[in-house]
Amino acid sequence: MPDYLSDHVHLSDDGTAVVILDQTCLPNRTIYRTLRTAKEMFDAIHTLQVRGAPAIGICAAYDLYVLAQQISARSAEDFLRQLQGQADDLCASRPTAVNLSWALARMMQTAAAHDTVPEMLSALHRECLAIHREDIAMCRAIAEHGLSLIRDGDGILTHCNAGPLATSRYGTALGPLFLGHERGMHFHVYADETRPLLQGARLTSYELSRSGIDVTLICDNMASLVMKNGWIQACFVGCDRVAANGDTANKIGTSGVAILAAHYRIPFYVLGPTSTIDLSCSTGADIPIELRDPSEIKEKFYTEPMALPEVKCYNPAFDVTDHSLISGIVTEYGICRAPYTESLRAVFEKKRAAQSLSDEGRK
- Please give the angle made by the CA atoms of 147, 150 and 153, to the nearest 5 degrees: 115
Q: Is 240 a catalytic residue?
A: yes
Residues 95/100/101/104 CA torsion (nearest 10 deg): -140
Output DSSP code: residue 116: S
The answer to whether 219 and 193 have CB atoms below 8 angstroms apart is yes
Sheet holding 188-192, edge to edge: 214-218, 188-192, 155-158, 234-237, 268-271, 328-331, 334-336
Q: Which helix (H) or strand (E) holds 101?
A: helix 98-112
Please state, in angstroms and rounded to a whole number, the distance separating the CA atoms of residues 265 and 248: 19
Residue 207: which of 268, 161, 256 has the closest Cα? 161
> Who contacts 265 (Cβ-Cβ below 8 Å, separation ≥6)?
none
Residue 235: which of 325, 319, 152 has the closest Cα? 325
- Please report, for residues 29, 74, 145, 198, 335, the alpha-carbon distance to residue 301 in angstroms, rounded to integers and kept in the order given: 15, 48, 37, 9, 38
Query: C-alpha 323: how far from its chain's center?
Result: 19
Please pick, among 63, 192, 220, 240, the residue that the annotation labels catalytic: 240
> Who contacts 281 (Cβ-Cβ below 8 Å, separation ≥6)?
241, 243, 244, 287
Helix, strand, or coil here: 144?
Answer: helix
Output DSSP code: residue 354: H
List residues with catalytic annotation: 240
